[in-house]
Structure formats: C-alpha cells, structure tokens
Amino acid sequence: MTRLLVILFAGATLVVATTAHEHHGEAPTCAGGSEHVLAEFRPGEVTVDGHNEDWESVEASEFALLPALDPDDDKAYSGGKIAVKAVHDGVNVFFLLQVDGAYAYTKGESNKCPSVALMFQVGEKATFYNMGGCKDMPGSCTSKSCRGHEVDIMHFSIGNAIPGRLYGGNHIDNAAGNGNDRFGHLVDVYAWNPHCRYLDGVGPKENNSNAQNDWHGAWWHSSLTFHSGFVDDDNPYGQQDEKGTYYFEFSRPLRTMDQFQQDAQFTIGRPSNMSVALWYPDDGKAWSNSDHYSASCNWLVLDIQPSSEATYYRPAPNRSWDAATGFALLLSVVAICMSIFVGYRFSRNRSTAQFTPLEQIQFAEERH
C-alpha cells in the first residue's frame, strides 16, 4: 500500500506541476530549418560522471536558448548558447549538455537550482509544441484518445543531487515498476501534452504497466574543484554566484523493453527527433514550470551514426561460404579423378595378372 501511495503521489505531482504549461494555442513562428545533433560511434570513451574532459574531442552543436512560450531573441538566456554533444557505443547513447551560468544551488529546492530536460518524439503525430500535441485535457486523455502523440522525457532537477554522483534508474524505484528517482529526481517520463504527463509505468488505468527508469546521469559545475567525491553534508558544494559552466551528462540504452509507447527507441543510422530545455533561477528567483528555455522552437534531429569503419568496409556477402564451397568442390574433383585413374590402371593390368587358385597354394605348402 505504501508503494502504491508513493507512485500515485509522484504521478499526481507531475500532473499538478504542468498547470503552468497551459498553452494550447498556436505554435510560435520558428525561423530556420531543423538543426542536427550528431552522435558518432565512440565506444569506451565516455564515463558518466558529470565531467567534460572525455568529451573534448567530440563536436558540439550549439543552440540559442529562447523562452519556450515566447521565443524572442531579445529574451534569450543571458548565459549564452547551450552546447549539446552526443556519442554512442552500439548499445547506449550518451549526451552532454554544457551551458554557462553562475553557480546556484539550494539544497532541497529544485526551482532555485538549474534543471534540464531532454524530450524525444515517440508517436508519429507527436509535435514539439505542446509536448506531443494531444488536445485532450486532464482526466480525459488516455492511451487510446491520444494515440500517436506520445513523447518521451528525461527530466533532471538537481536540488537533491550531489555533483559528480550518479542518479536515475535504481533498484528500488525500478522494482516498484515506474520511472521515478526518489534520490536525485532524474526521472523517466512520458506525455501526450503538458497536462497529461506521467512517470513511466504510471498514468490512466489502461496505461499502467510495469516500467523502469532507463536513464542515468550526473551534473557538475566548473567552479567546483573538489574531485575526490562530495557527500550530502558538503552542500551547497560551491560558492554561490561563482561564474562558470554547468555540465549535465546522461546515458540510456538505444533500445528499451518498453511495450506501451512510453520510451523512444533509437536505431543506428536512423534519425530521431529530440529537444533540449533548461530552467535557471535568473537573478536568484525561483523558476516556475513554464519558465524554461528551449534550444529550438521545433524538433532537433538526432543522427546516430554507424561505425566509420562500416562506411568503408563492405565484405562480399557469403564470402566465407563461397570459399568453403570452392574447396569442397576441388576435393570432390580430385577424388573423382583418382577413382578414374585407379580404375583405368586396374583394367590395363587385368589381362596380364597371374591368378593362382587357392587349392594349388595349399598343395604346394603340404609338399614342403
């Protein structure tokens, strides 16, 4: 019963938190075409620890951060552009978000700390604006009425997260069958619109399922110099308002075991639509849910590239089978030729061969 109450409370919290997102109007005008985020094949290069040193050789895509509800250049995020990097190792995809900002951290108050989110298109009709774009309101949206409008969201609010520590999927919340993270609030969420947003595994009755949080992530700020490992008692971990850069690092499997359209499924060589959002306590003021900046006003295209070696190496199909077949055929021809040769020699010598009956051999032996 306690577990059920926790799940219901978490789901209700997500729904209530979206009340500030009531913007079912027309999408704002978006200048320019779709921008790309490139994820190269780089196995064994990235450790998810919030640090950026292992990402230095990875090319970044940079985007201006504009208010999501009013993407006016004059209202852009004062810290400048956000850099987005991505790689994959054939099994998992990794992301690094890098954005300048003065250090801001208040333990237990997430809206006084920076927060980031990644959103991915799942349903074919899911739109960037209005978080999937289903027109149903709370209480009426279901997996049937909003079919095709699903989006997958990873949201990281760092108010209870220690810098450099790993958060996201954990045994306790995954055992409860949902996408929650009770320790660091790096949650796995799906939505049909801002009003209908739920933890994976939680939602309208017909959409409840056993699910899990497939994300892991960590954060860091360049002003922090203590690298041997922070603990909770060290908060706020750094000097407030210290200038520097925030790093948010994440990983997730390319494919998950989701069967309810709650997770995006990535395929190597096939583009996926995504978006990036940032919440920041400007001038120390707590942000509200609608006070977020977006890296675009339409979908970004995530390109998960195959291995570069695969581009240049194309082995002939069934090459090993052809070689084995040819060798076997050669042995067969040799065997046939040997059989013909032996038969021919035997037929030539048959007329001159001496034949001695067995009785004569025995008689000769008795005489001796």
pLDDT tens-digit map of 176-191: 999 999 999 999 999 9
- Say whether pLDDT at 202 is over 60: yes
Q: Over the stretch 62-101, which tens digit does the pLDDT of each residue have?
A: 999 999 888 889 999 999 999 999 999 999 999 999 999 9
Binned at pLDDT 50, 70 and 90, residue 126 comes out as very high
Give me the amino acid identity at 102.
A
- Say whether pLDDT at 363 is over 60: no
Kindly tell me the sign of the dihedral angle through the C-alpha atoms of 153, 71, 133, 264. Answer: negative
Q: What whole-number distance in Å separates Cα of residue 252 and Cα of residue 308?
A: 22
271 sits in the region (left: phi over 0; alpha: psi -120 to 50; else beta) called beta
How many residues are present in the chain? 368
The predicted model gives 150-167 an average pLDDT of 97
- Give the range among 62-71, 233-242, 349-358 with minimum mean pLDDT: 349-358
Which residue is associated with the tokens 């706020």?
A: 236
Binned at pLDDT 50, 70 and 90, residue 283 comes out as confident
Q: Which residues of 47-81 are buried (b: 16+ CB within 10 A; e: fewer)?
A: ebbbbbebbeebebbebebbbbeebeeeeebebeb
Model pLDDT, residue 263: 96
CB 200 within 8 A of CB 179: yes
Provide the strand spans (E) within 90-204: 92-100, 115-121, 151-157, 167-168, 186-193, 196-199
Kindly tell me the sign of the dihedral angle through the C-alpha atoms of 250, 254, 259, 263. Answer: positive
Model pLDDT, residue 222: 97
Q: Which residues, in sequence order, are CB contacts of 62 under 8 Å at separation 6+? A: 81, 82, 83, 84
The predicted model gives 154-174 an average pLDDT of 96
Averaging pLDDT over each range in 4-13, 30-39, 140-149, which range is the top one?
Answer: 140-149
- Class of 2-312 per CATH? mainly beta
Q: What whole-number distance in Å separates Cα of residue 274 and Cα of residue 269?
A: 15
Averaging pLDDT over each range in 18-22, 109-113, 308-312, which range is the top one?
Answer: 109-113
Q: What whole-number distance in Å separates Cα of residue 77 and Cα of residue 65?
A: 5
Task: Quote the radius of gyration of the chain (alpha carbons, Å).
Answer: 33
- Give the range among 10-19, 219-228, 252-261, 333-342 with minimum mean pLDDT: 10-19
User: Which of 155, 150, 132 has the alpha carbon at shortest distance from 278?
Assistant: 155
Binned at pLDDT 50, 70 and 90, residue 139 comes out as confident
- Say whether pLDDT at 340 is over 80: no
SS3 (DSSP) at 227: coil
The predicted model gives 306-332 an average pLDDT of 61
Structure tokens belonging to residue 75: 């209202």
Model pLDDT, residue 27: 61
Binned at pLDDT 50, 70 and 90, residue 259 comes out as confident
- Say whether pLDDT at 350 is over 60: no
User: Measured at the alpha carbon of residue 227, what is the angle toward residues 285 and 242, in degrees to the nearest 5?
Assistant: 30
The predicted model gives 278-291 an average pLDDT of 90
Q: How many percent of the chain have pLDDT more than 70?
A: 77
The predicted model gives 200-225 an average pLDDT of 89
Q: What whole-number distance in Å separates Cα of residue 305 and Cα of residue 268?
A: 6
Structure tokens belonging to residue 264: 């995006």
